[in-house]
């Protein structure tokens, strides 16, 4: 077993690999994480995103890795009625959630002006070039970790690796099996007390991705402002959900969806699930419920002291 730890994409990452090639595979994983950290970051000379954001409306050649994420994002944007939108970056930046800027509450006027710059349908893709209007900006904060964990799974497939757990901030993805062949046990954090977990899910090879207000936020006047922005209002999401976890085979799709469902809220997430399916989800609400979809209800084990009431949807 080899364990690699890294700080990249603004979060702590741990990758544990088991198998004859575990050392080489973990080393290659570290290199790929570093490469993707630069490629998908909002700043830096090697970044596709920085190039797009500073292109002043001109088309930019981008890597297939970036293109995949943007294409998947646009699809989820359409399906979620714009709740998921990677062009929300100017607002994320204004609130202080992007890079080095300070946390602050922008004025209503500033928010309404910035909302004019948010519109995923104005992203233009032609072959491997992409352009956005001059005043718009994108970020892959909601997709890069999921894309990266998919890539690490693919990478491990080319080494003699029997099992691996990839944990990139709120994104967990598994590869292969545990040593004894049993299922992986993934903990679901308690958003009100992130040092603790409220339950576990037992899974085979899959991604388990959580979005929530507790992962990055600031507080002012007794109110919490989290890093996920509702593109309908320009304000941090405040809709009664504390976290949304998505479980599906694709790390990229899970990452898009966990963010999208968190913005949609309980009812919106339920109707998205009923319309599109293809994944399982765990929603934790501020009124003390944990809602688990029927596909994984049998694999979910609630902690003895969990403060949440379990509902199966």
Summarize as ranges the residues that interact with ligand AMP (CB under 6 A).
Answer: 84-86, 88, 92, 97, 139, 141-142, 170, 211, 227-229, 231, 255, 258-259, 263
Q: Closest residue (Cβ) to Mg ion?
A: 259
Q: How far is the CB of 304 from ligand AMP (least distance, A)?
A: 29
| Cβ distance to ligand AMP smaller for residue 23 or 169 | 169
Rounded to the nearest whole angstrom, what is the least distance from the CB of residue 171 to Mg ion in the complex?
Answer: 8
Per DSSP, what are the bridge partners of residue 249?
A: none
- Residue 178 beta carbon to ligand AMP: minimum distance, rounded to whole angstroms: 26
Residue placing its CB nearer to Mg ion in the complex, 131 or 250: 250
Q: What is the DSSP string of 188-212?
A: EEETTEEEEEEEEEEESS-EEEEEE
Contact flag: residue 259 with Mg ion (CB under 5 A): yes
Instruction: Name the residue nearer to ligand AMP (CB basis): 26 or 168.
Output: 168
Cα–chain center distance at 206? 15
CA distances from 222 to 3, 121, 219, 243 (A): 40, 36, 6, 20
Q: Which residue is nearest to ligand AMP (CB)?
A: 141
84 binds, among ligand AMP, Mg ion, none (CB under 5 to 8 A by kind): ligand AMP
Q: Cβ 142 to ligand AMP, closest distance in Å?
A: 3
Q: Enter the tokens of residue 41.
A: 């970051």
Straight-line distance from the first to the last Cα atom of the chain, in angstroms, rounded to the nearest whole number: 38
Alpha carbon distance 294, 64 (integer Å):
36
Give the whole-angstrom CA distance, residue 20 versus residue 161.
Answer: 6
Of 14, 61, 12, the residue nearest 39 (C-alpha):
61
Q: Which is nearer to ligand AMP, 53 or 259 (CB)?
A: 259
Distance from C-alpha of 193 to C-alpha of 174, rounded to nearest angstrom: 25
Which partner, Mg ion, ligand AMP, none, binds residue 150 by CB below 5 to 8 Å per kind?
A: none
In the structure encoding, which two tokens stand for residue 120, read together?
């995923």
Nearer Cβ to ligand AMP (25/261): 261
Nearer of residues 239 and 302 to ligand AMP, judged by Cβ: 239
Query: Considering CB distances under 5 to 8 angstroms, the limit depending on partner class, which of Mg ion, ligand AMP, none binds residue 148?
Result: none
Cα dist from 88 to 69, 84, 100, whole Å: 15, 9, 17
Q: How far is the CB of 93 from ligand AMP (least distance, A)?
A: 9
| Half-sphere exposure at residue 77, Cβ-oriented, CA atoms within 13 angstroms | 22
State the minimum distance, in angstroms, from the CB of residue 43 to ligand AMP: 13
Q: Are the C-beta atoms of residues 167 and 15 closer than 8 Å to each other?
A: yes
- How many residues sit in the footprint of Mg ion (CB under 5 A)? 4
Q: How far is the CB of 215 from Mg ion (least distance, A)?
A: 10
47 interacts with, out of ligand AMP, Mg ion, none, CB within 5 to 8 A per kind: none
Q: 161: number of CA atoms within 13 Å, CB side?
A: 29
Give the range of 78-86, 212-220, 237-245, 257-265 binding Mg ion by CB under 5 A: 257-265
Residue 9 burial by CB count (10 A; 0-12/13-18/19+): exposed, middle or buried? buried
Binding mask 204-243 for Mg ion (x = CB under 5 A): ----------------------------------------
Shortest distance, position 71 Cβ to Mg ion, whole Å: 16
């Amino acid at each position: 077993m080899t364990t690699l730890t890294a700080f990249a994409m603004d979060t702590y990452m741990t990758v544990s690999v088991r198998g004859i090639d575990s050392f080489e595979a973990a080393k290659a994983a570290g290199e790929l994480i570093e490469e993707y950290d630069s490629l998908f970051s909002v700043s830096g000379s090697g970044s596709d995103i920085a190039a797009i954001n500073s292109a002043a409306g001109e088309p930019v050649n981008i890597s297939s890795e970036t293109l995949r994420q943007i294409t998947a994002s646009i699809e989820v944007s359409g399906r979620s009625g714009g709740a998921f939108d990677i062009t929300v970056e100017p607002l994320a930046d204004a609130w202080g959630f992007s890079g080095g800027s300070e946390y602050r509450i922008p004025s209503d006027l500033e928010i309404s002006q910035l909302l004019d710059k948010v519109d995923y349908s104005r992203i233009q893709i032609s072959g491997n070039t992409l352009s956005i209007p001059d005043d718009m900006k994108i970020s892959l904060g909601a997709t890069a970790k999921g894309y990266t964990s998919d890539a690490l799974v693919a990478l491990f497939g080319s080494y003699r690796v029997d099992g691996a757990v990839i944990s990139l901030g709120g994104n967990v993805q598994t590869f292969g099996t545990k040593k004894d062949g049993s299922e992986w046990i993934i903990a679901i954090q308690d958003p009100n007390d992130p040092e603790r977990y409220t339950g576990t899910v037992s899974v085979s090879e899959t991604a388990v991705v959580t979005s929530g207000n507790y992962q990055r936020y600031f507080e002012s006047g007794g109110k919490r402002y989290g890093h996920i922005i509702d593109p309908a209002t320009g304000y941090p999401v405040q809709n009664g959900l504390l976290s949304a976890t998505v479980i599906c085979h694709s790390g990229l799709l899970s990452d898009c969806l966990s963010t999208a469902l968190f913005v949609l809220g309980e009812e919106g997430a339920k109707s998205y699930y009923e319309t599109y399916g293809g994944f399982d989800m765990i929603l934790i609400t501020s009124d003390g419920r944990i809602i688990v979809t029927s596909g994984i209800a049998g694999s979910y084990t609630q902690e003895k002291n969990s403060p949440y009431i379990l509902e199966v949807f």
